[in-house]
Amino acid sequence: MGLLYIRSMAQILITGGAGYIGSHTAKALAAQGHGVVVLDNLATGHRDLARWGEFVQGDVRDATCLDALFGSRNIDAVVHFAAMSQVGESVLRPLEYYDNNVRGTLSLLAAMARHGVPDLVFSSTCAVYGPPFEALLTEDHPIAPLSPYAHSKRMIEDILADAAQAGGLRFLALRYFNAAGADPEAETGERHTPETHLIPLVLQAALGQRPGITILGQDYPTPDGTCIRDYIHVCDLAQAHILALDHLRRGGGCGAFNLGNGLGASVREVVNAAAEVTGRAIPVTMGQRRAGDSPRLVGDATRAREVLGWRPRYADIREIIATAWRWHSQEHARNAGG
Ligand SMILES: NC(=O)c1ccc[n+]([C@@H]2O[C@H](COP(=O)([O-])OP(=O)(O)OC[C@H]3O[C@@H](n4cnc5c(N)ncnc54)[C@H](O)[C@@H]3O)[C@@H](O)[C@H]2O)c1
């Protein structure tokens, strides 16, 4: 039994492991006894969040760095989070996005091939889907990315499919909906600068770090007129990566999987839930619709449930917000020197 346990452990390279989702995945993998090596250039990541396994500061586009890393450690598989991931910024700086995301992945794939590492789990996004948006998006929904960021992810999915077809690579592309929440033990959490995600923005308003939040559009064809999104807990995402690695190591097929909880929450519901969880008032201003926002983006993750055996544990938006609240309150106290 003990021997079997040891033999099933693996050494996993996590690119972008000093970031939000990567750090939670590093913790989850380490908790299962896997070896973890984090590679991160700290462009948007944080050294203190890379606290599980070994940390290597470097860039996925740097072949020399990758050769040194793969050449000196027995890496069994790679989980690839490293990317630039702000939609608005990608519209302004498309070349940087293609360079970092697409060239970075090509560089990583070439190094994996040089060092005989076959398995890759890739962070894709629901932003690869395009209109018309149905009530529940399956993996077969039309692909039509609307931003350079989303386009870079779609290009990478295509590259992975071609490379797998040619042989030598096995991959799963995980299309996340909106990652949310934080480690329930508050050892890591979301720390994006600038922050663009709704739940942290709302919690910053609850903490008095910003005057309030602006709801962009209240005349969408949804029950309360505000946009609906699918919030999936970051620990449920981390668990899906472990299952994806198991799947690949068992020789399972390649492909794309949605990771969402299938339960949308509107912007107004998120604000109300945050007020309830924090017990604080959250000042709201109503603004105009933002171009390109679809009324509803909710994922159907049946494939991940059936093929990977994924069972997300956090369904209630209040539970998700409660974990984020603990993290953000702690960060606030730390920054205030408390
Ligand atoms: N947060 C979400 O809701 C969400 C949704 C869909 C997809 N994703 C994808 O998930 C991944 C992780 O997202 P996140 O929210 O944790 O972002 P993040 O910015 O917190 O993490 C990304 C990490 O990658 C590192 N990085 C960037 N470029 C690098 C490079 N060239 N070499 C080495 N390290 C590099 C950054 O320093 C950072 O630590 C990204 O690929 C993102 O596109 C995120």
Peptide bond into 223 cis (omega under 30): no
**Which pair of structure tokens corresponds to residue 162?**
């071609």
- What phi and psi values does residue 176 have, to the nearest 5 degrees? -75, 145
Helix/strand/coil for 44: coil
Catalytic entry in 129, 149, 220, 314? 149
Ligand 1 pocket test, candidate residues 46, 85, 157, most atoms within 8 A of CB? 85
- Ligand 1 centroid to 16 CA: how many Å? 6
**Which pair of structure tokens corresponds to residue 2?**
């003990």
Residue closest via CA to ligand 1's atom 32 equals 59
Residue 53: CB within 6 Å of ligand 1?
Answer: no
pTM over 0.85: yes
Per-residue confidence (pLDDT) for residue 27, from 0 to 100:
98
Q: Check if the beta carbon of residue 138 is closer than 8 Å to that of residue 188.
A: no
Element spanning 296, H or E: strand 296-297
Helix/strand/coil for 85: coil
Residue 90: CB within 6 Å of ligand 1?
Answer: no
Handedness of CA 253, 258, 261, 263 (dihedral sign): negative
Helix/strand/coil for 301: coil
Long-range contacts of 281-285 (CB under 8 A, 24+ apart): 282/202, 282/205, 282/206, 282/212, 282/213, 283/205, 283/211, 283/212, 283/213, 284/212, 284/213, 284/214, 284/215, 285/212, 285/213, 285/214, 285/215
**Average pLDDT of adjacent 10-residue blocks, the chain of 338 residues:** 53 98 98 97 98 98 98 97 95 97 98 98 96 90 95 98 97 98 98 91 95 94 96 98 97 97 96 97 93 90 98 97 97 84
Residue closest via CA to ligand 1's atom 9 equals 123
- Ligand 1 centroid to 185 CA: how many Å? 22
Residue 70: CB within 6 Å of ligand 1?
Answer: no
Spell out the alpha helix ranges (H) of the chain. Answer: 2-8, 20-31, 63-72, 87-92, 94-97, 104-114, 148-166, 198-206, 234-249, 267-278, 302-303, 317-335
Per-residue confidence (pLDDT) for residue 319, from 0 to 100:
98
Residue closest via CA to ligand 1's atom 1 equals 179
Per-residue confidence (pLDDT) for residue 2, from 0 to 100:
41
Peptide bond into 132 cis (omega under 30): yes
The answer to whether residue 176 is catalytic is no
Q: Which domains are delineated in the chain?
A: 11-181+232-260+300-308 (3.40.50.720), 198-227+264-299+316-335 (3.90.25.10)
Give the rounded distance of the alpha carbon of 62 from its chain centre: 23
Q: Check if the beta carbon of residue 43 is closer than 8 Å to that of residue 254.
A: no
Per-residue confidence (pLDDT) for residue 5, from 0 to 100:
42
